[in-house]
Amino acid sequence: MQKDFVRFENVYKRYKMGEVTITAADGVTFSIDEGEFAVVVGLSGAGKTTVLNILGGIDSCDEGKIIVGGRDISRLGKHDLASYRRYDIGFVFQFYNLVPNLTAKENVELATQICRDHLDAESVLESVGLGDRKNNFPSQLSGGEQQRVSIARALAKKPKLLLCDEPTGALDYNTGKSILKLLQTKCREDGMTVVLITHNSAITPMANRVIRMRSGRVESNKVNPAPMPIEQIEW
Amino acid sequence: MKNREKKSHALRKNTLREIFRTKSRFIAIFAIIGISVGFFSGLKSSGISMLATSLKYFSDSHLMDISLLSTVGFDDEDIDEIKKLDFVDEVMPAYAADLIISRDEIDSVVKVYSVPQKTKTNRHPINEPILKEGRLPRGEGECAIESYFLGMSGYKLGDTITFNPSVEGRAATEIVKSLDFKIVGIVDSPLYLTYLRGNTTIGDGTVAFYMLIPPEQFATERYTAVYVRTNASDGRVYEFGDEYRDLVDEQKKEIEKLSLRCVDRFEATTLADAQKKLNDARTEYEEKKTEALDEISKGEKKLLDGAREFYEQTGDAQKKIDDAEKELADGKEKLEKGQQDYKTGIEEAKKKLTDAQTQYDEGLAKYNAAKLEYDTQIDEAEKKLQSAQNEFDIQYQIFYSSTKPQAETKLTLLKEATDLLMELLQKAEDKLEELKQSEILGKGVKQEIEDQEKKINEYKKKISEYQRQYEEGKQKLAEGEQQIADAKAQLDAANAELMSKKAEGAVKLNEAKTQLDSAEGQLANGRLEYETALTTGMMELQAAQTQLTEGERKLDEGKKELAAKSAEALAKLKQGREELIKGKYQAHVQLDDAEKKLDDAEGQLSSLENAKWYVNGRDYNPGYSGLAEDADRVDSVSKVFPVFFLLIAGLVCFTTMTRMVEEHRTETGTLKALGYSNTAIAMKYIIYSGAAALLGSIVGGIAGLFTLPFIIVDTYGIMYSLPATVLNINWMSYLLSSVTGIVCICLVSLFACFRDLRQTPANLMRPKAPKPGKRILLEYIKPLWNGLSFTSKVTARNLFRYKARFFMTVIGVAGCTALMVAALGLKDSTTDIADKQFNKLTMYDQIYALSEAGTSKENEYLMSQFHADEDFKSTLLANMSWGTISDKASGKSLSIRFTIGEEQKEFEKMFILRDRLSHEPVPLTDNGIVVTERTGEVFGLKEGDYITITLDEEKYSCKVTGFTENYAGCLGYMTPKYYKQLTGSELKYNVILTRLTDESRSMERDVANRYMKSDKIITVTSMVEQINTMMDMMNSLDFVILVMMFCSGLLAVVVLYNLININIAERVREIATIKVLGFYSLETANFIYRESLVLTLIGGLAGLGLGNVFATFIVESIQMDNVMFPKEVSFMSYLIAFVMTFVFSMIVNFMMYFKMNRISMVESLKSIE
């Protein structure tokens, strides 16, 4: 397991909103080891989404270095970034972002078809417990199911890094719990590095590492030596 | 109230902000409405602008409403009568004539008009020409020519145009006062709107150009034309409309009524006067003729008398001369006889003399001969005698001196020898006897005896020999002596004979001599006599000769005198006769002239007898009706296209607004929740879209109205000679299209937001559930669906997900493709027809118009010349004449040109009669006529139908046996046999059509010039010029086509841009998501493009079909009665339209690529609105 698999070094991100400059990431520095389940927690506007976006190659930073698996992605060009997203990153969105016109299986295939080394769409769907819903359209699935499809889509690419942006934000408590369970299982069983952002501090005990953010800065970066199984966590 | 204002104020602000925030959407609506309205109103205004330009031209130039022509011309009284009609505003009499000019040995017919003149009643002359350059002709020998012609010919301002001195057998100076006219101005006459110059009865039948000369320059007395302006054109009615036509038709009828009166008056007065004058003139002529003939016969009599006298006098003189001549001849004859006699006498005398001489000479010769003979004989005899004497003497001598003594000696010797021998013999005989005695005594004496005996014998023998010889000698001697004695005797006898003969001969010779001498004397006498006679005869003859010569000289003198005298008399007679003949001839010429003039006058009078006025409206002007047709054509094009544009605009706006309303769902909910009325909320969208549409229609309208009519009218201006374009805005169309556009957009907006407005605010504020994914029909076809790639499946499903947009895009794209196909199809229809017409169908290069129409027999010789010329590939004797084809039922009537070829084989080389589509030959039989396809279409004819044609003012009903491919002109064909069958008369051919071996222009001119020298050929028409004219005409449509293409392209771009834009906007989240998934830019773009390409493909294919319908419709609506546009869209055009559609689609896609690249992936993280 590589240490400091993900490393942020003094990362800045500023948004210009008219005349006002908002500094979303104000010298963010942290690192995550490989295979860890890391949770980035903070209030709205603390810069956690910005960090995730930059880490996922969706957004760029203005200053600093982001090293993922020994590679500095902060200097990558557009095309390399796309490749980085394609082969290294799996993204799970808060609102699932499934293509409504595609079935569950097709949504997974949408990801796998561009990957050289990928998992079989159907088996991934089965592994997330949707083996029998693979031919349903998103509109025919519940929110949790849709999120599972989303996770399946992310996992199918065999990413090095699974990034989840409030994956339970649009889900009810139990469904959310089951999704988190799925993610924890995937992390533990497959050794997948998972970075999850949430505003809900309650779920931090399940993580290997908890990074707290406030006003664009990393408040704390703690390793949890004994993460709790999700079933034991109540909030 | 205040509140409300505030409220609406806030909303308005919101709307305004919305406009600025979503510029591209606003611009899309603006543009599509702008293009549609601009194109529609622009095109709609083009046709009427063309007409307005013409109408302004007509009113500015005071174009006549009615033109009058008459078989007898007009006089001032007629003019006054016309003026009296209550609807007539202005009347202008004028002159017009067709004359011929020769340029490069090619004749062209020129229409000469008088310069329109102001009259008391009108401030502007009717048909006032536009002066382009120079000034109007005023004085003698000045003219103005039309600008169109000026461009084509080499003439310049200041050049002189010279008319041919004769026009169809008439002197040109009977029509115009001089033949040379200097060009002082360049004009355009409103009578001619196009390049068409109309037909004429002279030359090759077509007017090449027109010119104006001052009216005083016409030699004709009566006006040839009258132009009338009526109240029809005082602005009350639209002059291209039916009302105007009806009004003018009525007025024409009125004038026709008036014309009957005027003609009656003309016949009663002018004609009657003329008749009377003519009759008087004829009477006078007859009198004068009689007088003149009398005088002539008198002169003739005098001449005859003189001649007779002359011949009498000369007769006497001649007789005398003849007598003298006879006498002289007698004398001559006598002389000749005397000469002859003298000659013969002399000849005879000479002959006698010669005979005598001859005789004498003969006698002399004989005498001489005889003498010579005598002398010779005597001489010979004497010589013989002498030699005999001499020989005798010698013999005598010899004998007596030697022979005799010798013989005597010998004889003596012989005697002695015999005596000796006798002694010996005795001795021997003695011994023998001794011996013989001895013998008896002894032995040995025997031998000696024998020897002795022998000796004795020998002696004895010798003695006898000697004795004989002696005897012989003795006898010989005696013989010799005898001989001598004989010879002596003989000699003597001969001597005696000679003597006697000598004497005798001498006597005879003497006698002869005497005779000869006397003959000589006689001969001398005769000679003398002859000599004398010769001299005297000669002298006598000479005297007679002299006399005769004298007589002859005298006769000659007499003759000469007579000749001189008679020549003098004869000259006088001749002069008299010549004078008479001359007088007679002059008299006859004068009489003939007078008679011809009388006959002409009579002919003219008789031609004047059935006087008739031709009352024509404006549509009689060449090109006039074409103008309205062309304007209609532009209108037809503008009917289809822009309507389609508006339809597409509506569709595009609907999608756009639906999208907009959807985007503002939350806002709508919020506003509703805040308590705004539905109307107020809807107003936002209505104002938004309405403002875009209004702005679009204003800007588009201005752009369209101020460009298209000018472009199109100017383009047509190539064919028409019109002044600067007058813009006539079709406000109705503009307002209609604008209002339709705006209202449509507003309604569409209303409709779009209506759905949302019905919902509760709470519902609205919740994000709208995305349209659920659905299986599409295709998925149920498992084998096909499974065969598709993943991306294809995605594309297919997306395509059918938004059906409205699918159909809209397809319709939009199809529309663009269709417009392009139509535009290109129109081009296809118009491009090749000149080439096809002249290179594939009517292939003759030249028309030689015969100066006199004749039957094939009459043209046999001429044709043989043409046939023999190697410059011609083929030649055809033909009849080409204009007729009318009409249909009573529909009231339609068209000018049709019939071609009747003499030889079917040659005809087929010049005219290809075939079906347009199948190219199957259309047979021309003796049973009917073949007409052009378009003609058949116009009259709705089927094979075997009967149609009325008018040829030489006679109506015939013809059977139509076929329709042939043809593009330009209304043409008909028949065989000479059918013509005969139809008209009952023998066909007279009037042209020779040729195809050249070498079709170059220079060759064409060369050959034409060669034949123009023949008086059998009157004009040569080259087809090259016709081809050019037609090409020009077709090219002018190109611009309209280009405009259409441009607008179609613009439409395609706008429609596709808008649709793809909406597509992208709706799927921003999806696009962002797939970007996050790691799709590269191109892959992301393809995700969208694939759909738009498929839509373009479907739309394009649909557009090809639609385009065909469009093209057909447009071609149908623009084609003229005498021009056929093939309704064929070429494969190339389909291909180009299709490819162009794709190119437009690609351009739009390319523009979209950047837009898609700019979509931030952060979008994907946003919550659903």
Mutate to test the interface with B, among A52, A85, A97 (most CBs of B within 10 A): A97
- At B551-587, the pLDDT tens digits run 888 888 888 888 888 888 888 888 888 888 888 788 8
- Decide if B794 and A101 are in contact by the 8 Å CB cutoff: yes
**Partner residue facing A102 (CB), from B794, B1076, B1078:** B794
Instruction: Identify the band that residue A212 occupies on the pLDDT scale cut at 50, 70 and 90.
Output: very high
Chain A's closest residue to B1069, CA to CA, is A97
pLDDT number for residue B717 = 67
Closest C-alpha among B715, B642, B582 to residue B1034: B715
**Residues of chain A neighbouring B1165 (CB-CB closer than 8 A):** 49, 53, 58, 93-94, 165
- At B1053-1081, the pLDDT tens digits run 877 787 778 778 778 888 888 888 888 88
Q: Does the pLDDT value for residue B71 go beyond 90?
A: no
Mutate to test the interface with A, among B775, B802, B806, B1077 (most CBs of A within 10 A): B1077
- Decide if B771 and A109 are in contact by the 8 Å CB cutoff: no
CA–CA dist B303, B28 (Å, integer):
113
Point out which residues pair with B930 in neighbouring strands: B962, B973
Residue ranges of chain A whose CB lies within 8 Å of a chain B CB: 49, 53, 56, 58-59, 78-79, 82-87, 89, 91, 93-95, 97, 99-103, 106, 109-111, 113-115, 137-140, 153, 157, 165
CA–CA dist B439, A180 (Å, integer):
237
Q: Where are the alpha helices (DSSP H) in B622-773?
A: 624-663, 665-674, 678-717, 731-758, 761-765
If phi > 0 it is left, if psi is from -120 to 50 it is alpha, else beta; for residue B143 that is beta
Q: How many CB atoms lie within 10 A of CB B1070?
A: 25
- Decide if B769 and A139 are in contact by the 8 Å CB cutoff: yes
Instruction: Identify the band that residue B4 occupies on the pLDDT scale cut at 50, 70 and 90.
Output: very low
- Decide if B1077 and A114 are in contact by the 8 Å CB cutoff: yes
Chain A's closest residue to B799, CA to CA, is A101
* Residue A140 to chain B, least CA–CA distance (Å): 8
pLDDT number for residue B1165 = 67
pLDDT number for residue A210 = 93
Mutate to test the interface with A, among B1069, B1071, B1076 (most CBs of A within 10 A): B1076
Chain A's closest residue to B798, CA to CA, is A101
C-beta of residue B1106 within 8 angstroms of C-beta of residue B817: yes
- What is the sign of the dihedral through the CA atoms of B618, B623, B629 and B630? negative
Instruction: Identify the band that residue B153 occupies on the pLDDT scale cut at 50, 70 and 90.
Output: low
Instruction: Identify the band that residue B642 occupies on the pLDDT scale cut at 50, 70 and 90.
Output: low
**Residues of chain B neighbouring A102 (CB-CB closer than 8 A):** 773, 794, 797
A205's tokens: 């005990």
The whole-number average pLDDT for the span B939-959 is 86
**Partner residue facing A59 (CB), from B773, B791, B1162:** B1162
Chain B's closest residue to A153, CA to CA, is B1077
- Decide if B1162 and A100 are in contact by the 8 Å CB cutoff: no
Tokens 């025997």 locate to: B446
**Residues of chain B neighbouring A59 (CB-CB closer than 8 A):** 1161-1162
CA–CA dist B225, B66 (Å, integer):
11
- Decide if A87 and B770 are in contact by the 8 Å CB cutoff: no
Chain B's closest residue to A136, CA to CA, is B773
pLDDT number for residue B1 = 40
pLDDT number for residue B432 = 81
The whole-number average pLDDT for the span B276-292 is 83
**Residues of chain B neighbouring A165 (CB-CB closer than 8 A):** 1165
Mutate to test the interface with A, among B779, B793, B1165, B1166 (most CBs of A within 10 A): B1165
A177's tokens: 């719990």
- Decide if A101 and B1167 are in contact by the 8 Å CB cutoff: no
C-alpha distances (whole Å) from B1086 to each of A14, B795, B1094, B1161 are 32, 10, 12, 17
* Residue B666 to chain A, least CA–CA distance (Å): 18
Give B465's Cβ-side CA count (13 Å radius). Answer: 8
pLDDT number for residue B1035 = 67
pLDDT number for residue B3 = 47
- At B657-676, the pLDDT tens digits run 888 888 888 888 888 888 88
* Residue B1086 to chain A, least CA–CA distance (Å): 13
Taking the Cβ of residue B1161 and every Cβ of chain A, the question of whether any pair is shorter than 8 Å is answered with yes
**Residues of chain B neighbouring A99 (CB-CB closer than 8 A):** 773, 794, 1070, 1073-1074
B926's tokens: 């003796």
Instruction: Identify the band that residue B5 occupies on the pLDDT scale cut at 50, 70 and 90.
Output: very low
CA–CA dist B767, B1169 (Å, integer):
5
Q: Does the pLDDT value for residue B2 go beyond 50?
A: no
The whole-number average pLDDT for the span B157-173 is 82
pLDDT number for residue B55 = 83
- Decide if A100 and B1073 are in contact by the 8 Å CB cutoff: no
The SS3 assignment for B113 reads strand
Claim: this prediction has a pTM higher than 0.80: no
> DSSP labels for A95-160?
T----TTS-HHHHHHHHHTT-SS---HHHHHHHTT-GGGTT--GGGS-HHHHHHHHHHHHHHT--S
Q: Where are the alpha helices (DSSP H) in B61-169?
A: 76-84, 147-152
- Decide if A82 and B1075 are in contact by the 8 Å CB cutoff: yes
Instruction: Identify the band that residue A32 occupies on the pLDDT scale cut at 50, 70 and 90.
Output: very high
Q: Which of B317-331, B880-894, B1112-1126 has the lowest mean pLDDT?
A: B1112-1126
**Partner residue facing A93 (CB), from B1074, B1075, B1164:** B1164
The whole-number average pLDDT for the span B83-107 is 82
**Residues of chain B neighbouring A103 (CB-CB closer than 8 A):** 773
The whole-number average pLDDT for the span B606-626 is 75
Q: Does the pLDDT value for residue B437 go beyond 80?
A: no
- At A92-111, the pLDDT tens digits run 888 888 888 888 988 898 88
Q: Does the pLDDT value for residue B274 go beyond 80?
A: no
Chain B residues 86-125 with a CB less than 8 Å from chain A: none
**Average pLDDT across chain B, whole number:** 82
- Decide if A139 and B1167 are in contact by the 8 Å CB cutoff: no
Instruction: Identify the band that residue B466 occupies on the pLDDT scale cut at 50, 70 and 90.
Output: confident
Mutate to test the interface with B, among A78, A99, A118 (most CBs of B within 10 A): A99
pLDDT number for residue B740 = 83
**Partner residue facing B773 (CB), from A111, A115, A139:** A139
Q: Which of B31-40, B472-481, B775-784, B958-967 has the lowest mean pLDDT?
A: B775-784
* Residue A22 to chain B, least CA–CA distance (Å): 16
C-beta of residue B285 within 8 angstroms of C-beta of residue B595: yes
The whole-number average pLDDT for the span B432-442 is 74
Tokens 């100017």 locate to: B714
* Residue B764 to chain A, least CA–CA distance (Å): 19
Which one has a higher pLDDT value, A108 or B719? A108
- Domain residues of chain A, as ranges? 6-224
In chain B, what percentage of residues exceed pLDDT 70? 92
Q: How many CB atoms lie within 10 A of CB B538?
A: 13
Instruction: Identify the band that residue B512 occupies on the pLDDT scale cut at 50, 70 and 90.
Output: confident
**Residues of chain A neighbouring B1162 (CB-CB closer than 8 A):** 53, 58-59
Instruction: Identify the band that residue B1169 occupies on the pLDDT scale cut at 50, 70 and 90.
Output: very low
Q: How many CB atoms lie within 10 A of CB B231?
A: 15
Q: Provide ipTM, 2 decimals.
A: 0.90
* Residue A105 to chain B, least CA–CA distance (Å): 11
- Decide if B797 and A101 are in contact by the 8 Å CB cutoff: yes
**Residues of chain B neighbouring A105 (CB-CB closer than 8 A):** none
Instruction: Identify the band that residue B960 occupies on the pLDDT scale cut at 50, 70 and 90.
Output: very high
pLDDT number for residue B899 = 92
In chain B, what percentage of residues exceed pLDDT 90? 4
- Decide if B1081 and A78 are in contact by the 8 Å CB cutoff: yes
Antiparallel, parallel or unpaired: β B142-146 and B180-188: parallel
- Decide if A82 and B770 are in contact by the 8 Å CB cutoff: no
Q: What is the DSSP letter of A203?
A: G
Q: Which residues contact B898 (CB under 8 A, 6 or more apart)?
A: B879, B880, B881, B882, B883, B929, B949, B951, B971, B972, B973, B974
- Decide if A101 and B798 are in contact by the 8 Å CB cutoff: yes
Instruction: Identify the band that residue A75 occupies on the pLDDT scale cut at 50, 70 and 90.
Output: confident
The whole-number average pLDDT for the span B419-446 is 77
Q: Which of A164-173, B1017-1026, B1086-1095 has the lowest mean pLDDT?
A: B1017-1026
pLDDT number for residue B1034 = 66
Q: Does the pLDDT value for residue B1041 go beyond 80?
A: no
pLDDT number for residue B930 = 93
- Decide if B1077 and A83 are in contact by the 8 Å CB cutoff: no
C-alpha distances (whole Å) from B491 to each of B394, B400, B497 are 13, 18, 10
Taking the Cβ of residue B803 and every Cβ of chain A, the question of whether any pair is shorter than 8 Å is answered with no
**Partner residue facing A102 (CB), from B771, B773, B1168:** B773
CA–CA dist A89, A55 (Å, integer):
9
- Domain residues of chain B, as ranges? 96-219, 778-834+1023-1169, 846-998
Give me the CATH topology for the region A6-224.
Rossmann fold (3.40.50)
